[in-house]
Chain A
Amino acid sequence: GAVVSQHPSRVICKSGTSVKIECRSLDFQATTMFWYRQFPKQSLMLMATSNEGSKATYEQGVEKDKFLINHASLTLSTLTVTSAHPEDSSFYICSAKRPNQPQHFGDGTRLSIL
């Protein structure tokens, strides 16, 4: 149990495009979902935390207008990178959890902006 699906796994697009990444908890209801960013050979950096039905809480330095997060249901959260530029290229990973349970991670999305 506790499977998290992230889609797409890879995106290549032109600069200026907006890209939406989906994170779904397949077999449990996730009250909280997290979005992380990972640069090559680096650690995961938390971008934002979202609770179902409420606005996401962004970490310091993360632009909320740039990285739009929607957690519309207990099984789905989306991250939209608006007007993406080459510096937004990275590996984005989501995780989902239930109360008092560990986070379960998706397989990540490799975003490449040309």
Chain B
Amino acid sequence: SQQGEEDPQALSIQEGENATMNCSYKTSINNLQWYRQNSGRGLVHLILIRSNEREKHSGRLRVTLDTSKKSSSLLITASRAADTASYFCATDLTSGYSTLTFGKGTMLLVSP
């Protein structure tokens, strides 16, 4: 079965609001990564958080990781219409970045 499961499956918000997406996984990991996918396009790497880290920031993105609960969250602050995309978490079992397992993703719609 898939390692990562995101929720919600879909999220619709207004510009300026914050968007929070969650990811749960089942086994021990080396790191967890979040990706963005615009419709019909490839994936863009957003942020990586290692298993010994609890929180990480990158611009308007904030990622948390709770290894005891096997869960992670991605927060996008002050969202923009251009943030509309699908967001996937991917768990990596090793440090070599070769064993990614993706969740089903959260489809985010940000309305102007």
**Is A103 in contact with B97, judged by CB distance below 8 angstroms?**
yes
0/1 per residue, B72-99, Cβ < 8 Å to A? 0000000000000000100000011110
- Give which listed residue, B4, B88, B96, contacts A100 with CB less than 8 A: B96
What chain A residues lie within 8 Å of B4 (beta carbons)?
Answer: 43
Q: Tell whether A108 pairs with B45 under 8 Å between CB atoms, given A43-B2, A43-B104.
A: no
- Give which listed residue, A99, A100, A102, A108, contacts B42 with CB less than 8 A: A108
**Is A44 in contact with B102, judged by CB distance below 8 angstroms?**
yes
Please give me the residue from chain B that is nearest to A45 by CB atom.
B102
Question: What's the Cα separation between A106 and B37 when bound, in Å?
Answer: 11
Beta-carbon contacts under 8 Å, B32-88 to A: 33, 35, 40-45, 48, 88
Count how many pairs of residues, one from A and one from B, have CB atoms less than 8 Å apart in the complex.
54
Please give me the residue from chain B that is nearest to A32 by CB atom.
B98
Question: What's the Cα separation between A44 and B105 when bound, in Å?
Answer: 9
**Is B107 in contact with A41, judged by CB distance below 8 angstroms?**
yes
What chain B residues lie within 8 Å of A107 (beta carbons)?
Answer: 41-42
Question: What's the Cα separation between A49 and B101 when bound, in Å?
Answer: 13
Known: A103-B97, A103-B100. 19 other contacts (CB 8 A): A41-B105, A43-B4, A43-B102, A43-B104, A43-B105, A44-B88, A44-B102, A46-B101, A49-B98, A91-B40, A95-B43, A97-B97, A99-B96, A100-B95, A100-B96, A102-B48, A105-B45, A108-B40, A108-B41
Residues of A within 8 A of B (CB): 4, 6, 32, 34, 41-46, 49, 91, 93, 95, 97, 99-108, 110
